[in-house]
Structure 1
Amino acid sequence: MADRVVQGEGRVVLAATPIGNLGDASPRLCELLESADVVAAEDTRRLHRLVQGLGLTITGRVISYHEHNERERAEELLELVQEGQTILVVSDAGMPAVSDPGFRLVSAAVDAGVLVTAVPGPSAVLTALALSGLPTDRFTFEGFLPRKAGERLSSLRDLSAERRTMVFFEAPHRLATMLAALSEVFGANRPAAVCRELTKTYEEVIRGGLGELVAWAESGEVRGEIAVVVGGAGEPEASRPEDHVDAVSALTAGGMRLKEAVAVVAETQGLSKRELYQAVLSARS
């Protein structure tokens, strides 16, 4: 069924494009590519290859809309919507605004009270998550990690206690370095999956511990579009009274009475005061 169009009512339509297999293009995407007043594309050359592959003809105006001109283009596109035009936003692959241009336009359209809708479809994030074999009930999308080593390690340390499954994107030539950083911070045994060329002819999902994946990535040239899925941190180990005896001793060395020091440490660590007190006495005997 064709999309409902109200005369004179402009709208922004975010449309998911195939991440590899052209057969994943939805009928709604095809209809809008041919009927939209304006098609705002992350890469106009890739857009024309997509349209040619689908056997379609664009009748509207094609505008480039990428990370370097997103802010300026958003204002221009919003003006066209307010004039009553339908603006179709497409990225190179997958859903616009998810690690791709689109967010600024959506934000501006919402602020202006302009209609925003979407044509759902292929998603590298969800496809990789589903194929990873890792828990899917709760997850977080982290996009691309910083390229500089120090910033990358800092970002990963912030995620070291993350309990949800994590999905990252990475370029092929930086994959081995990225996996090594993940292994260093999360541990070599943390389960993960490297998903490459999803929905394409040479689709491949490599599963294992991060240490194993580092060895795999370093053993040969890796090509294609890549998503890395990493299992979340496990349950934190239960705190034991014996582990906090030194904290009590530090307080008593500063002049605090033993029972008061035990009470302070027990409260902050969620421990039994009686058990912590006994642990301190045992350590002193």
Structure 2
Amino acid sequence: MIILAATPIGNLGDVTTRLVEALGSATVIAAEDTRVTVHLLKALGIENRPKLISLHDHNERDKAAELVELARETDVLVLSDAGMPTVSDPGFHLVDTAAAAGVVVTALPGPSAVLTALAVSGLPTDRFTFEGFLPRKPGDRRGTLRELATEPRTMVFFESPNRLAASLADMATVLGDDRRVVVCRELTKFFEEVKRGTVKELAEWATKGVKGEICVVVAGAEPRVMDLGAGVDEVLSLVAGGARLKDAASDVSAATGLSKRELYEEALKRK
């Protein structure tokens, strides 16, 4: 079978008993960076030296079929450098290929930067969305943020420390200066820092320079107060701009809390 195994995101003490046992008995490990895996084995005092196969973003599509066939004969332990494989890390194509081939896929759960950041953020956790890394190019990044501007759920992003200030500045421009944001730096490590504030405040703070692994947690959009008539006007405006009526009603409903069905039906009457 394919075994996805979560590794510590910083503090080695977060390693699970199941991971230690799996590393001690594994015959094959597919690793994002084999050097990191060798270091992990040594740090944990594990003498087992399994066959290591490199599995990263640039070769995963080519390696997936080979690893799936190997998994028919023996367990293949899959590791990313930190956290759970497939979550902004290699593994998705491998799992997809394994599922299509009828090969069992299981996981050894453990540390997760996404859930850790969400838990300590102080922002709503009942509904959230993980958005991975924002685009590198400013225009693409602002375009992605515009698509998320009315997202009501808490959003979690990964970000490079070198791009953090620019990304927060773009969030201030697109989402508004007062949107609540939490920057989590070096989670579980010695210099862990959780910085909370408005996006404007944190954008200014980040211009001084930030180091380490970064997670950004952003509050969801507050529903706009709007009566049904105004909501229908907005739906029809979106339709006039080329949107499908069903999609326009859905978008306005998400942004305002108005009933999607009522928006659709009333807009249909007025078309």
Q: Does 1:179 align with 2:168?
A: yes
Q: Distance in 2 between matches of 1:243 and 1:13?
A: 49
Separation in 2, partners of 1:22, 1:207: 26
Structure 1 residue 33: Cα displacement: 1.1
Q: Find the counterpart in structure 1 of residue 244 from structure 2.
A: none
Residue 135 of structure 2 aligns to a residue in which SS? coil
Match of 1:236 among 215, 218, 224: 224
Q: Distance in 1 between matches of 2:38 and 2:141?
A: 36
| Matched AA of 1:33 | L
1:35–1:59 Cα contact (<8 Å) kept: no
Please state if 1:49 is matched with 2:48: no
CA distance 1:268–1:59, shift in 2 (3 Å): same
Would the alpha carbon gap of residues 244 and 70 (structure 1) be closer, same or farther in structure 2, given more than 3 Å must change? closer
Q: Larger Cα Rg: Structure 1 or Structure 2?
A: 1
Q: Deviations over 1:137-163 (max 9, x none)?
A: 000000001111111111111101000
CA distance, structure 1, for counterparts of residue 37 and residue 136 of structure 2: 28
Spell out, residue by residue over 1:106-153, the C-alpha distance to the aligned partner (whole angstroms, 9 max, x if none): 111111111110000000000000010000000000000111111111
- Indicate the SS of the match to 2:162: helix
The percent identity for this pair of structures is 57
> Are residue 188 (structure 1) and residue 177 (structure 2) matched?
yes
Contact 2:6 2:109 in 1 (8 A): yes
* CA pair 270-33 structure 1, distance change in 2 beyond 3 A: farther
Question: Shift of the alpha carbon at 1:43?
Answer: 0.7
The answer to whether the 8 A contact 1:38-1:87 is kept is yes
Give 5+ residue unaligned stretches, structure 2. 237-262
How far is the alpha carbon of 1:35 from its aligned partner?
1.1
Q: Which residue of 2 aligns with 1:103?
A: 92
SS of the residue corresponding to residue 30 of structure 1 reads: helix
CA 1:268–1:19: 2 relative to 1, 3 Å: same
**Deviation string, structure 1 residues 6-30 (Cα, Å, up to 9, x no partner):** xxxxx00000000000000011111
TM-score where L is the length of structure 2? 0.85
Find 2:62's aligned residue among 72, 87, 98: 72
> What is the aligned-residue RMSD (CA, Å)?
2.4
Tell me how far apart the structure 1 counterparts of residues 172 and 81 of structure 2 sit (CA, whole Å): 30
Give the whole-Å Cα distance in 2 for the aligned partners of 1:80 and 1:241. Answer: 61
Q: Does the alignment pair 1:133 with 2:115? A: no
Q: What is the alpha-carbon distance in structure 2 between the residues aligned to residue 240 and residue 224 of structure 1?
A: 47
Aligned residue pairs total 244
Matches within 5 A, 1:121-270: 121-218=110-207, 220-239=208-227, 267-268=266-267
**Secondary structure class of the residue paired with 1:63:** strand
Task: Please list the CA deviations of residues 188-222 of structure 1 after superposition, one character each: whole Å capped at 9, or x if unmatched.
Answer: 1000100000000000000000000001101x221
Shift, 1:240, TM fit:
7.3
Confirm or deny that 1:36 pairs with 2:36. Answer: no
**Change over 3 Å in CA distance of 1:268–1:115 after alignment to 2:** same
